[in-house]
Amino acid sequence: MKACPNSAILKFFNSKGIHIDASSGFEVQRAMSAGIPAENISLSTQELPENFAELVKLGVNINACSVSQLQRFGEAFAGTGQKVGIRINPGTGSGGFSTSTSGFSKTNVGGPASSFGIWYELVDDGTVPDIVSKYGLTVERIHTHIGSGSDPEIWQQVASKSLSFCKVWSTVETLNLGGGYKVGRMEGEVTTDLQKIGGPVSDAFRQFAEDNDGRELKLEIEPGTYLVAMSGALVSTIQDKVSTTGDGSHTFLKIDSGMTDVLRPSLYGAVHPMTLFPGSGKTEEIGMDTEDVIVVGHCCESGDLMTPKPGEPEDLARRTLRKAEIGDLLVMDGSGAYCSGMSTKNYNSFPESPEVMVDFEGKPHIIRNRQPLEEIYHNEVDVPEGLY
């Protein structure tokens, strides 16, 4: 859901029998108000919502992501045998973008530099099993997710390690391996081959069943990016073009969008394919002449950069595009995941952009209207009179 939370998209996936992975209590509520049945929603969150027990009673599946979350869960359901999932940080992680020497990366959510999930040693040393037995909980799911754009080899290693956690509780029915399947957006970037990484994982599941008296586990995955990344494109207009001269100079195309719609380039140094089209009303084709340009967004931030050096959001990288004029359209592909859902919405008071779903016949349908400006400040309140 966090990859792309528009209700029309959630409903589409729901109609295909795909369930929802929510990352906050608010996402759960949003999914339910889109009509997703509570039992088809799984919550793995950094902040357990106050009303988590109510959500569980409605049927939402919760994965406890820290010892304190498990403790709170236990207190709320003591002695009831309530089913719970446990998200474990398996000690290894992998993310798609640059990794610093400290092991930290913004898309890596496993390993010692990551706060996601219960550190695996707390399962091994009995801390987690003790809490589970103290409250009489039933562990039905083990969950691990190591990062986005993960290295397939690390993913496979973690899959085997995750199976070992399923042995700790005989009640575990499901192993959820999260998401993180790399999607190659640019030429030369490799997309995860699900058949290739799935083969050894299904072998490991079969082996698990063989070694454990025929106990067959269910596999769950959360392939957010994989399902939507290449299904979305950002359509923007070049609203200005400026050049500087001298050392370190560039030609800049300024689009009528930016980190208010797509934050990935400025946050991670993510690189998206870009194509230019003639602006509306133009009759002549865009010429074949090319130009090396920097594409920037409309926010008053030098970091609002659409063409960073790959993996280096602090650095500019020129992109060779067909020579553009003000008014031409720039289409940024690969924008279906973590773009509309993860942007600096309303920064500089730019209203949210409209969203359009194109059906299988190519017909467009509005699934979000452009936000009216007043909606940005409608919940602001004035201070009592006389304070200024």
Ligand X SMILES: Cc1ncc(COP(=O)(O)O)c(C=O)c1O
Under the binding rule (CB under 6 A), the answer on residue 335 touching ligand X is: no
Residue nearest to ligand X (CB): 179
Q: Is 297 in the site for ligand X (CB under 6 A)?
A: no
| 39 exposure class (CB count in 10 Å sphere: 0-12, 13-18, 19+) | exposed
User: Closest separation between CB of residue 375 and ligand X, Å?
Assistant: 28
Closest distance of CB 47 from ligand X, Å: 13
What tokens does 231 get? 């299904």
Q: 25, 90, 178, 258: which one contacts ligand X (CB under 6 A)?
A: 178
Catalytic residue among 4, 65, 299, 300: 300
With contact defined as beta carbons under 8 Å apart, do 58 and 43 qualify? no
Which residue do the tokens 């949210």 mark? 352
- Are residues 51 and 71 in contact, defined by beta-carbon separation less than 8 angstroms? no
- Which of 3/270 has CB closer to ligand X? 3
Q: Does 3 bind ligand X (CB under 6 A)?
A: yes
Number of residues that bind ligand X (CB under 6 A): 16
Cα–Cα dist 205/213, whole Å: 13
On the 0-12 / 13-18 / 19+ scale of CB atoms within 10 A, 33 is exposed
Assess whether 300 carries a catalytic annotation: yes
Stretch that binds ligand X, among 176-184, 209-217, 267-275, 304-312 (CB under 6 A): 176-184
Among 5, 223, 297, 341, binds ligand X (CB under 6 A): 223
Judged by CB under 6 A, the residue of 61, 225, 236, 335 near ligand X is 225
- The SS3 of residue 34 is coil
Q: In the beta sheet, which residues pair with residue 294?
A: 252
Task: Give yes or no for residue 226 binding ligand X (CB under 6 A).
Answer: yes
Q: Which of 180, 232, 308, 313 binds ligand X (CB under 6 A)?
A: 180
Q: Is 305 in contact with 270 (CB distance < 8 Å)?
A: no
Residue list 39-58, contact with ligand X (CB under 6 A): 44
Q: Which stretch binds ligand X (CB under 6 A): 25-33, 221-229, 258-266, 377-385?
A: 221-229
Per-residue burial over 221-237, b if 16 or more Cβ lie within 10 Å, else e, is bbbbbbbbbbebbbebe
d(CA 231, CA 148): 18
Among positions 152, 224, 232, 334, the unique one binding ligand X when judged by CB under 6 A: 224
Q: Does 145 bind ligand X (CB under 6 A)?
A: yes
Question: Which 83-142 residues touch ligand X, going by CB under 6 A?
Answer: 109
* End-to-end C-alpha distance for the chain, whole angstroms: 43
Catalytic center residues:
300
Residues that bind ligand X (CB under 6 A): 3, 21, 44, 109, 145, 148, 178-181, 222-226, 337
